[in-house]
Chains A and B, each alone.
Chain A
Amino acid sequence: MKQGSSVGYWDRVWIEFKKDSLAYVAFFFIILLAVTAVFESFLAGNRPIVLVDEGKYYFPVVIDYPELRGVDLRATYLDDPDSFAIFPPVKYSPTESDFFSVLAAPDGNHFLGTDDRGRDVLSRMIHGARISLSIGVVAVGIAMVIGIILGAIAGYYGGWIDFAISRLIEVMITFPVFFLILTILAFTEPSIYNIMIVIGITGWTGVARLVRGEFLRLRQTNYVEAAWALGSRDHRIILKHMLPNALAPVLVSATFGVAGAILVESSLSFLGFGVTPPEPSWGEIISQSQKYVDFAWWLVLFPGLAIFATVTALNLVGEGFRNAIDPKLKER
């Protein structure tokens, strides 16, 4: 035991997690994807990141200049030696149509080809990453909040409260969730916020059951009894003693949940119930390709790979964290 080199619980989990190299790589893929989603406009768009016009600096990606509106800067500054512009690596916005290259195969200009309206697939995929990921994260966030609160109440108080919440969970589980989501979306405005909310309020049952089970287990532990013996109030015991010790498996299930939500969003968009058309999402790109799938392979392959890679990576990370939390599982 060294002095002053204290490692907390999450430090130990991280050390254990790093031993699983596949999960570790997947983790960095997810980080990369998140960075892509956040900095989408710096990676794909028709406005320059930096524009120098006769000594004057402009940053059109972050600031909207009224005088530059409607000007296609790509054409203007191509050969001017005094003024220059640095463009994102993909010089097309996700919504602009290039009518000279409709359904173009991947080449040096459109790296991953274009769709039936001449929109750049790579640009749409980069912007779609933000939508797919944020739907996954926010929907699971909503599900976690509902699930943790209900599961904690049921597990801590027990009795008829537990009985009522458990029956509610069972009723929710019997619904085929995907069709429930389709039905709800049929009656609401199709927007990404509605999708987040609908996936969230239909997906909390797993988390609730998990938290309830953990709380039932933790109620029996000596340290929770010791906290009672010290005179702790309910909220202190729930928040300080039980929740931190119940959270690890919940976070693992959240990782799987994000993967599931991304798949649901892709399926919804594919069926036309997802994001509204000009907005890009991975499932929506695949759905646009339905009519041309016999020759426009790039419309299916690349967004399909993106969904596959993201869902696989999230599941690998979830698996890795589960093993890191409970190293005994790995040895089976």
Chain B
Amino acid sequence: MDENKAIVSVRGLKKYFPVRKGILSKVTDYVRAVDEVELEVKKGSTVGLVGESGSGKTTLGKTVLRLLAPTAGKIFFEGEDITELDSARLRSLRREMQMIFQNPYGSLNPRMNVGSLVSEGISIHNTVKKEERGEFVARLLGEVGLGADVMGRYPHEFSGGQRQRIAIARAISLHPKFVVCDEPVSALDVSVQAQIINLLKDLQKKHGLSYLFISHDLRVVKHVSDLVAVMYLGKIVEIAPSEEIYSNPAHPYTKMLISAIPEIKRTRSENGGESSISGEIRNLADIPSGCSFHPRCPLATEVCTRETPRLEKKGADGRSVACHNV
């Protein structure tokens, strides 16, 4: 894969959380939230990351931003290895990479007004002169569809959608190149979801942003992504271009997810018969041997219980699948 065209790429990334037990807090086991992940986000593109809750999506997003320290593996930003950056270099890198959180009720400090929330980044990095900050923030707020008059108000005075707009304004205030959107619309009303998604798409076009778009909602991901990665128990099981993955899913887990999308028009038989969701996602602390999906997999064979499949290129359309039987 070409490191130069990619804004962010991740090689063999692992994030394990130790499980401690007993009075001496001895490490007895690990929660493998992110395990051997390979991922690449191209400049100006959006990679959707889907999976059930508890599959390690958010942990992957935070680890890529170095908000969490990776256990192993490498993270590259514009070709530069940022895995081992010291705190001072990391702070200046923060300008380039930002995050939008799932819950707009928790991501804004309740004691700060909108003006200081949105201007926090520019005052930390001093990218805008003091006397121009008011005007700058007003312009940012305009860009996300809010009036400049909201600057003196506090987060609790806004609806979820408006709060998410404030959070987006804060995220783009430093003109980042890469933004991790962690379920940015999951906490919002369906009517507001489309507005926020369109706002994110507009901003992407205008500023040439690259997104890692995390969601459990496949319909949302389909709408925004160029490439979709499917995550199951800390591992990426399939990556494919957006249209491909919906029209022609390869991995049995992807098939299961897609068949579970409720759609009014299609009938059950058109949907592919009985292949709806079966079983539940396991705990990350208790991952099955071999292919972690084998207890739920309709295609599972003996080899799946022993050997972990690697993510391998399948076909010419840029698809990679991690399955023994595809």
Residues of A within 8 A of B (CB): 1, 3-4, 6-9, 221-223, 225-233, 236, 240-241, 244-245
Chain B residue numbers with a CB within 8 Å of A240 are 109, 112
| Distance of A228 Cα from B90 Cα, bound (Å) | 10
Cβ contacts under 8 Å, B121 to chain A? 230-231
Say yes or no: B91 contacts A231, CB within 8 Å. yes
Ranked 3 nearest A-B pairs via Cβ: A231-B94, A222-B107, A231-B91
Residues of A within 8 A of B109 (CB): 223, 227, 240-241, 244-245
| Residues of chain B having any CB pair with chain A under 8 Å | 62, 65, 67, 90-95, 97-99, 101-103, 106-113, 120-121, 124-125, 149, 152-154, 157-158, 167, 170, 174
Q: Determine whether the beta carbon of A230 is less than 8 Å from that of B101.
A: no
Task: Select one of A3, A8, A226, A233 contacting B170, CB under 8 A.
Answer: A226
Query: Is A226 a contact of B167 with CB atoms below 8 Å?
Result: yes
- 8 Å CB contact of B153 from A6, A228, A229: A6
A226–B99 touching, CB < 8 Å? yes
Q: Whole-angstrom distance from the CB of B165 to the nearest CB of chain A?
A: 14
A230 near B153 (CB under 8 angstroms)? no
- The one of B67, B95, B102, B107 that contacts A223, using a Cβ cutoff of 8 Å: B107
Contacts of A236 in B (CB 8 A): 124
Contacting residues, chain B, for A229 (C-beta < 8 A): 65, 67, 94, 97-99
Cα-based distance from A60 to B13 in the complex (angstroms): 79
On chain A, the residues within 8 Å of B103 by CB distance are 222
A13 to chain B: closest CB distance in Å? 12
Complex interface: chain A residues within 8 A of B94 (CB):
229-231
16 contacts between A and B (CB under 8 A): A1-B158, A7-B154, A9-B111, A221-B106, A222-B102, A226-B101, A226-B108, A229-B94, A230-B94, A230-B121, A230-B170, A231-B94, A231-B121, A231-B124, A240-B109, A240-B112
Chain A residues positioned under 8 Å from B92 (CB to CB): 231
Known: A6-B153, A8-B154, A226-B108. 11 other contacts (CB 8 A): A1-B157, A3-B149, A9-B154, A223-B110, A225-B67, A226-B167, A231-B95, A232-B120, A232-B124, A233-B91, A240-B109
Residues of A within 8 A of B152 (CB): 4, 6
Residue contact A227 to B67, C-beta cutoff 8 Å: no
